[in-house]
Amino acid sequence: MERTKAIIMHQDFVEQIRKDFPILEQKINGKPLIYFDNAATTQKPKQVIDALTDYYSGYNANIHRGIHHLAEKATSAFEETRKAIARFLNAESSDEIVFTYGTTDGINLVANTYGEAFLSEGDEIIISTMEHHSNIVPWQMLCEKKGCVLKVIPMSDAGELLMDEYDKLLSERTKIVSVVYASNALGTVNPIREIIEKAHAYGAVTLVDAAQATSHIRIDVQDLDVDFLCMSAHKLYGPTGMGALYGKRALLDKMPPWRGGGEMIKEVTFAKTTYNELPYKFEAGTPNIADVIALKTALDYVENIGLEKIAAHEQELLDYATESLKGISGLKIVGEAADKVSVISFVMDGIHPQDIGVILDQQGIAIRTGHHCTQPLMQRLGIVGTSRASFAVYNTKAEIDGLVAGLHKAKKFLL
């Protein structure tokens, strides 16, 4: 009885939420869409889509400089998002929130400003085996330019970082530790607090790639004492092509600007330019106003449901999927960390991941296959890639049953 009640509540919760996502109503190849590519990007609720339309049809104007009504309205909505992100991450001040194109852009900003100004030959940067290319390449570029050394925290076969090995990598030469909070390829949630604490003990600055974490884990930047944290709006039910960098004020203040142009200046003469204050110093050019505004709507949407409630639902889906997939012979789950977000990667004996993706697509099931922009991680695991299903607030157990049926069919076809 209790169990039946719980199932009905669960169904009601998801049914209500699904109504907010118009894209989920469609059929793909004649089958109802099952969207399990949420780690790549989440779908957008109609509230977010409406916020974009409202902006363009109601108060599109360039921000910060105009004195007319529309400019003021747009500026105020734009800055409201900055405050909302500051609240979402519990930053001390919204001045510590810099708008970016996304997580990748945020990491590049830190590498090109903090890295440029404060790193020199022989300094060391620590990342981990499970980094997305976005948290590898900017540091490699910096190392090449400055003669710094990149060190990598190894991981276990289950997909957990070897913290003892991390201890051995840390030294007085460590200047930056940049690690992913939740792995996009494996789902592993890293012990980020411990990583930060240990880095600080050596005076290193820390950056957390939170792209995959923000929609599943409550983040408190002050509590974590992280120095920089990067996030993307589109993985959090918000628009694509924008995100935010959180940075401690003391660090942002002493960092040089990166891109030059409008907005980031205080005064320009041909002899010399003085730069604007935080956070505008890092925001050159007309920003992505509409999408920034719509991100606030996305954050409100998440907070109205409750991030903890979303996370609990996703955890339930992850547990159900893990059990279900284990029942398929020849299937091996890749990434079995004790603490995971709702990402499940797997390989199947004798079948290339891409073939699985194609056959599932024919059945209306969208998953991701390949190396997930984590080639070094795939090399560590000795595989060409995985198939990955990742769940969001609107997914259901019935859809997971659909995936299992789809995989049985794929096996029948491909083996």
Partner 1 sequence: MTINEIQDEIIEDFELFDDWEGKYEYIIDLGKKLPPLDEQFKTEENIIKGCQSVVWLHAFEKDGVIHFVADSEAIIVKGLVSLLTKVLSEQKAEDILNADLYFIEKVGLAGHLAQTRSNGLAAMLKQMKTYALAYTSKELKV
Q: Which one, of 156, 403, 114, lies nearest residue 251 by Cα? A: 114
Choices 111-119, 191-199, 314-322, 350-358 (CB under 8 A): range interacting with partner 1: 350-358
The Cα–Cα gap between 116 and 122 comes to 14
Report the phi/psi class of residue 167: left, alpha or beta, with left for phi > 0 and alpha for psi in -120 to 50. Answer: alpha
Residue 376 in contact with partner 1, rule: CB under 8 A? no
362 near partner 1 (CB under 8 A): yes
Q: Among 138, 385, 402, 406, which residue interacts with partner 1 (rule: CB under 8 A)? A: 385
Q: Burial, 30: exposed, middle or buried (Cβ in 10 Å; 0-12, 13-18, 19+)? A: exposed
Residue listed under structure tokens 């794929």: 410
Is 413 among the residues that bind partner 1 (CB under 8 A)? yes
Q: What is the DSSP letter of 376?
A: H
Which window, 125-133, 161-169, 288-296, 364-372, contacts partner 1 (CB under 8 A)? 364-372
Residue 299, C-beta contacts closer than 8 angstroms, at least 6 positions apart: 81, 84, 85, 88, 236, 238
373 catalytic residue (yes or no): yes
354 binds partner 1 (CB under 8 A): yes
**Looking at 85-93, 299-307, 368-376, 399-407, which segment touches partner 1 (CB under 8 A)?**
368-376
- Residue 358 interacting with partner 1 (CB under 8 A): yes
The helix-helix angle for 289-305 and 46-54 (nearest 10°) equals 150
Position 70 contacts partner 1 (CB under 8 A): no
- Which residue stretch of 11-19, 67-75, 103-111, 357-365 sits at the interface with partner 1 (rule: CB under 8 A)? 357-365
Nearest 10 degrees: CA dihedral of 302, 307, 310, 314?
120
- Residue closer to partner 1, measured from CB, 71 or 384: 384
For the CB of residue 390, give the shortest distance to partner 1 in the complex, in Å: 17
**Contact positions with partner 1 (CB under 8 A) in 6-65:** 29
**Smallest gap, in angstroms, from Cβ of residue 385 to partner 1?**
6
3 state DSSP class of 388: strand
Which amino acid makes up residue 263?
Answer: E
Q: Of these, 165, 370, 380, 401, which contacts partner 1 (CB under 8 A)?
A: 370
Residue ranges that bind partner 1, judged by CB under 8 A: 29, 351-355, 357-359, 362, 369-371, 384-385, 413-414
